[in-house]
Structure 1
Amino acid sequence: MNGDIKKSSISARCPVPVDQIPIKEYESMSQSWFYRWGARSLQGYLVPIISLWLLSWLVVGPMAAVSFVPAKLPLQFMISASLGALILPVLALVQLYIGWNHVCDRLSGQSVFYEESGWYDGQVWEKPEEIFNRDRLIADYQVKPILLRLQKTFAALCGILAFSFVTWQFI
């Protein structure tokens, strides 16, 4: 009961519109079919990336075949089509990163910028210590691991890109 009183008194003091409260933004993203993808198991995380990559081949494959005839230049065709097909997964991963990074910044900050009715009337609310600590824990233990996974994915993609460019020099 005491927790309910404490929670309602904090909510009463919070002037931030409900959809702009950092914890609500986190909960909304955690339930979103797209953003939830970053928090899945390794297999659940990799399957959409690979699926987007394979789907991109439908567009990129024919374009690469025009430039590098697969029968005559199979390695050039494979490298160019594979790298070109990375565009769709990279765009999806960038959107995931931007979204989760935004929520992480809002959870980690001591103050919250919010808009009452539009862009022209922004305000700043200082979080009480207990809300700040709760939000920081959520950012540290729920959101930052997702961001770290995405950073590792980007590093792996950069490694693939570098390997492809080096390989291209020798063919």
Structure 2
Amino acid sequence: MTRRISTAPIPPEQRPFNEYQQLRTSYFFRWATVEPRAYLGTILCVWAGSWVVSGPVAAWSFPPVRMPVQFFIGGAGGAAILLGLVLLRLYLGWSYIHTRLLSASVHYEETGWYDGSFWTKPPEDLAKDRLVVEYQVAPVMRRLHRTLAALGLFYALVALLYWLL
């Protein structure tokens, strides 16, 4: 078995597969890859933690003693906005990797932002990257799409409840 030595000009840390492995093992981004129960638990923890910011704002707008329903709706909506920002960051990171893995040629920087170039992937690397997208990245993207859609429905429900009150 011979080892293939790469002569590609792209730095190893900018290769799409290496970027994927780095993203997959990072503390923040691996959250999207855990089993469903842990994923949902983390979402609920982030939402509950966001109440630290949204609760006082909602209490200032709607005194909890006089307007408990409005207070809860305002706090829940505010906490959901912060959760949405966290989920959007997750989605953007995974989307970036998804695009880089699927592309036949990728942009890279040799020494800085001012001297970038494009690298065309060899067929073996392209096939490997597309398999990774199909079996590893696409399920994460589908999960994030569903989560963001559910959050959008939650926003709509909060807006409807607020409007009805």
Report the TM-score, using the length of structure 1 for normalisation: 0.92
Name the aligned partner's letter for residue 16 of structure 2: P
Name the aligned partner's letter for residue 123 of structure 2: E
Residue 122 (1) aligns with residue 112 (2): no
CA RMSD of aligned residues (A): 1.2
Structure 2 residue aligned with 1:23: 17
Structure 1 residue aligned with 2:35: 41
SS, match of residue 10 in structure 2: coil
SS, match of residue 69 in structure 1: coil
Structure 1: runs of 5 or more not aligned: none
Number of aligned residue pairs = 165
Structure 2 residue aligned with 1:141: 135
Structure 2: runs of 5 or more not aligned: none
Deviations 1:124-152 (A, max 9, x none): 11111111111011012111111111111
Cα distance between partner residues in 2 of 1:81 and 1:96: 23
Cα distance between partner residues in 2 of 1:16 and 1:72: 62
The residue correspondences of 1:48-59 to structure 2 (distance < 5 A) are 48-59=42-53
Report the TM-score, using the length of structure 2 for normalisation: 0.95
Name the aligned partner's letter for residue 70 of structure 1: P
Structure 1 residue aligned with 2:88: 94
State the identity as a percent: 42
SS, match of residue 86 in structure 1: helix
Cα distance between partner residues in 1 of 2:121 and 2:57: 53
* Higher helix content, 1 or 2: 1
